């Protein structure tokens, strides 16, 4: 077995394994639509290597050569569709189709040219260059890219250039062989197949890492998110709040915490049922999302209890935020409940003081909330540290 044949067999196995890997990602997470396209792309890649192996052993009728070319070009087309789906770029179907059709026709025409012709080689390799370059261009068009995405973009660009280098490589290494059967015996075949393997595997592995990164991010987000409200759950809120607290302290900025609780929530459940109670929670959570903008973020930290972190805000700003939220929410209807029925919430506000951790800040804000509950509900209380270190509460 020649070195080129060995590389061809390796390529066949690797393409099949990569296709299976992307298929597994697609089966695990249905949102990763790109993985399905890449599974098909690398599956076609395995078909291409099978055809190439057949051509090299049993001969090369003209249709087989054209089909081989079309299969690998189709695999690259599907890869580009996967890139577009992953990075939310409109798929340039028309452009991809035009390149595919014109290139396949050109491949058929050049079969009448001498195999060692430099022009023939350039016409044969240029479509691969164009199709791979289109993948890099699609990534370039993405609205946002992270550093791994940028590396993938440049890797695709480098891979496209290696196709243009092959006519020169063939010329310097003595050509592609007098016949397709002789191709795999040439040094050019060994180097060309090896280059293709290196780029194909590198691109696929990097794409798998990117998909894994996003799957892990989604799982992490789900673990930090409350299913009913869509806000951060208590654990997610505390982790996020702790990081923000440390950052704000390092910057020397103030920070306020608002805790709020839906009034008479048990009565809502008892009167209208738990499904209606869930609707009230969803309505309040949606309301908090609309007002907790910028650096602010909210979480559901208990049954009907919520918290909002206000980076860069002092106690006065926190009180104004709470008063605005209290007033606005009391005027909101809840879908599925009587239109004239309104709900209220009570609020406790505290500002971070020197040497205080998140649990202490939460405790002070919670005590202020308790004072609001004890003083008639539907109001705001703020927690102020006194000079002797005791906590005091002020109503507004």
Task: Measure CA 272 to chain center.
Answer: 40
The closest of 226, 229, 250 to 238, measured between CA atoms, is: 226
Catalytic residue among 52, 238, 248, 304: 304
Q: CB atoms < 10 A from the CB of 313, how many? A: 25
The closest of 32, 13, 31 to 22, measured between CA atoms, is: 32
d(CA 283, CA 290): 11
Give per-residue burial for 342-367: e unless 16+ CB within 10 Å, then b.
Answer: ebebbbbbbbbbeebebeebbebbbb
Backbone angles phi, psi at 295, to 5 degrees: -80, -15
The closest of 93, 2, 11, 80 to 47, measured between CA atoms, is: 11
The closest of 303, 326, 343, 329 to 382, measured between CA atoms, is: 326
153, two tokens: 């973009």
d(CA 175, CA 163): 15
Query: In this structure, are strands 255-262 and 345-351 parallel, antiparallel, or unpaired?
Result: antiparallel
* Helix, strand or coil, per DSSP, at residue 151: helix
Q: What sections of 110-233 are H helices per DSSP?
A: 118-140, 147-172, 180-183, 187-223
The closest of 323, 382, 329 to 351, measured between CA atoms, is: 382
What DSSP designation does 123 have? H
Q: Position of tokens 């040094």?
A: 187
Catalytic site residue 304?
yes
Residues tagged active-site: 304
């Amino acid at each position: 077995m020649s070195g080129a044949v060995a590389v061809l067999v390796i390529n066949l196995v690797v393409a099949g394994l990569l296709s299976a890997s992307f298929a597994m990602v697609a089966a695990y997470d249905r949102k990763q639509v790109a993985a399905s396209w890449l599974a098909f792309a690398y599956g076609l890649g395995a078909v291409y290597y099978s055809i190439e192996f057949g051509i090299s052993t049993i001969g090369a009728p003209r249709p087989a050569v054209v089909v081989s070319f079309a299969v690998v070009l189709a695999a690259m087309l599907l890869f580009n569709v996967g890139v577009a789906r992953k990075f939310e770029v409109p798929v340039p179907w028309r452009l991809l189709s035009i390149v595919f059709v014109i290139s396949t026709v050109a491949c058929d025409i050049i079969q009448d040219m001498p195999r060692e012709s430099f022009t023939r080689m350039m016409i044969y390799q240029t479509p691969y260059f164009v199709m791979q370059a289109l993948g890099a261009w699609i990534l370039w068009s993405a609205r946002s890219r992270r550093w791994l995405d940028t590396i993938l973009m440049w890797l695709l660009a480098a891979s496209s250039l290696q196709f243009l280098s092959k006519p020169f490589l063939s010329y310097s290494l003595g050509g592609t062989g007098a016949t397709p059967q002789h191709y795999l015996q040439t040094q050019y075949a060994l180097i060309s197949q090896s280059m293709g393997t290196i780029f194909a595997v590198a691109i696929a592995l990097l794409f798998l890492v990117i998909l894994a990164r996003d799957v892990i991010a989604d799982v992490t987000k789900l673990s930090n998110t409350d299913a009913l409200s869509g806000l951060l759950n208590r654990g997610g809120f505390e982790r996020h709040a702790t990081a923000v607290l440390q950052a704000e302290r390092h910057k020397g900025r103030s920070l306020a915490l608002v805790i709020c609780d839906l009034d008479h929530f048990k009565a809502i459940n008892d009167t209208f049922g738990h499904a209606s109670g869930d609707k009230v929670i969803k309505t309040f959570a949606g309301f908090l999302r609309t007002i907790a903008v910028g650096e602010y973020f909210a979480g559901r930290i208990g049954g009907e209890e919520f918290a909002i972190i206000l980076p860069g805000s002092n106690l006065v700003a926190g009180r104004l935020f709470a008063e605005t939220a209290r007033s606005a929410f009391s005027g909101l209807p809840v879908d599925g409940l009587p239109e004239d029925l309104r709900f209220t919430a009570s609020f406790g506000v505290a500002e971070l003081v020197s040497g205080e951790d998140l649990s202490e800040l939460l405790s002070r804000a919670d005590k202020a909330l308790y004072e609001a509950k004890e003083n008639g509900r539907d109001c705001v209380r703020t927690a102020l540290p006194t000079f002797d270190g005791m906590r005091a509460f002020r109503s507004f």
